[in-house]
Structure 1
Amino acid sequence: MLQEFKTFIARGNVLDLAVGVIIGASFGAIVKSLTDDLIMPIVGAVIGGIDFSNYFVPLSSKVTATSLAAAREQGAVFAYGNFITVAINFMIIAWIIFLLVKAVNRAIPKKEAEAPAGPSDEVKLLTEIRDSLKK
């Protein structure tokens, strides 16, 4: 069993996956910083500085707080504003990844498909024989 495990780990696919996960986590941090620190402030300035993250509806009469974090400590809340913020972040991240993939696809030249090779000499000869026999 230990030998099988070593063989499994030594395969390139597992190592490729590990590298992909590590790079993906790092890339996720970069994209999160891009959206949180650069893009969302611009979006906030364009729409008048509205911060959706503190919009909520208290589900309990005990909740009297005005910020989402404080309201969650007091009881259950329906945090629709936080959902709107996360949805906007997702759309921005999806757009950035789309543009990145599009740029990479343009930068890396595609291999042209090789023209299919013509029939071999044997096939040509057999075709001629068949056609001769039909006459």
Structure 2
Amino acid sequence: MDALYTAVATAGSAGREGRAATTDGRLDVVLAPPAELGGSGQGTNPEQLFAAGYAACFASAVSLVGRQNKVDTSDISITAEVSLGKDETSFALAVVLRAELPEELDNAAGRALVEHAHQLCPYSKATRGNIPVELVVE
């Protein structure tokens, strides 16, 4: 792969409790486990950051596929739900991607658009075969 851009971020040894920041200073967040996991909930967490990144990346992929197929995707909305749970050995992630598409796009065409985007999205490629990702077209 020829890298077009590289993001660099650092988190301290406290991991889920502390701070994470990018080298360019554009992202600097306090990290804290959510209350549901016994934390204070007074910061963001890796699952929220992953959900935001995946939603943004997937929305771009849907827009690209829309442009390629002359489909207006200006009113799309992608929501990524990232769940942290336990598997046989430790912890694991699962993702649900909810695509809210324009009403004029019929369900079959919308599903095809989302499935094609899922083949192109770098986050989808990275997760494929590693964690379950469910696509929901609304």
Q: Would the TM-score normalized by the shorter structure come out above 0.5?
A: no
Q: TM-score, normalised on structure 2? A: 0.31
Which structure carries more helix by proportion?
Answer: 1
Which structure carries more strand by proportion?
Answer: 2
Q: TM-score, normalised on structure 1? A: 0.32
